[in-house]
Amino acid sequence: MRKFCSLDNGDCDQFCREEQNSVVCSCASGYILDDNGKSCISTEPYPCGKLTLARRRRSEPLTADSSKDPPEDGEDLDPTMNPFDGDLDPTTNPLDLLGLNNTQPSSAEDENSLVRIVGGRDCKDGECPWQAHLIKENNEGFCGGTILNEFYILTAAHCLNQEKRFKVRVGDRNTEKEDGNEMVHEVEVIIKHNKFDNKTFNCDIAVLKLKTPIKFRMNVAPACLPEKDWAESTLMTQKSGIVSGFGRIHEMGRTSVTLKMLEVPYVDRNTCKLSTPFSITPNMFCAGYDSKLEDACQGDSGGPHVTRFKDTYFITGIISWGEGCARKGKFGIYTKVTNFLKWIERSMKKTKTRPQGEPEVTAAPLSLD
């Protein structure tokens, strides 16, 4: 009896596709297909999408380590080889852009702090290893990100309007206490999607290339990029995904000291559209609760939305925007990563680190064919 992907994922550990009336299994980067043609075997000590388990290290200081379907997502890149040259837009809160932020923060709060975890719980050791934290020069966090691999971070394009100068911190679970896994990295290249619209937040996606590679360890490991068709038919039809971040613990409240995580149900697209007067483009999806007081909130923007499949976590979204936090009848809005998988791959390929000994190429603006 033939077995197809729609039935138990064709018994595949990860990706499943159908060819000539048969199932073909494949795996994410960093895995190889077992001889049985079904299982995915890791080829790396810290494979993508796996929770990290290791003996805790003693505390040590942070160190700076040097309405229509969208197109095929092969849109042009809009990178800045030096991310701190030139003017960026002033710090802006997505709620302000959407005319929704009518509540004034207390004087102790930073009015320009950015979006989106209300409710949820603290991430345990090794539970959210792909979380990245974008930090200002004073070490204050303002946005999140997702570790793609040792050199690249995925985040929201609107986060790049927040600060002219920033770094990326990984391995952080508590902003007031260090456990030795934290590392700070400088940003070498910023690639913001050139079709990002700062009014509608369409194409709210960006990739950061770090100057030095991330050393994977406890609390530091990448999430997996999925295959598009499989992700949309299998991952995004799961009941829920998981978001994480250091954002505000309630609307206009103070930001969280500890890294939080929250399970958020996928929301039917029509229900999502009916919940808001604002445009939900094909590059967005909704997740969250209709009335339960749990949501992403200010400070979480750019952070990961991942979906678990057979104990492997795949990147499915980027925390983008919402009308307040955990408001009744409102949902969190996320960038639909599956629409940009080719864009992400091309962004990384165009800015790939030059092998030692290879002639240097003068930096210049990049574009896709």
Which residues are catalytically annotated? Answer: 158, 204, 301
Q: Measuring CA to CA, which residue among 224, 263, 248, 238 is closest to residue 344?
A: 224
Amino acid at 313: Y
Given a contact cutoff of 8 angstroms between Cβ atoms, the answer to whether 154 and 144 are in contact is no
* Whole-number CA gyration radius for the chain: 20
Q: Using DSSP, how many helices (H) and how many strands (E) does the chain show?
A: 4, 18
Token readout for 298 is: 């200010």
The structure tokens listed for 76 are 């042009």
- The token pair that represents 30 in the structure block: 């960093």
Which one-letter DSSP state was computed for residue 341? H
Sign (positive/negative) of CA torsion 314, 301, 221, 121? negative
Q: Is the dihedral of CA 138, 294, 253, 332 positive or negative?
A: positive
CA dihedral 107, 174, 143, 216 (to 10 degrees): 170
Q: Are 153 and 147 in contact (CB under 8 A)?
A: yes
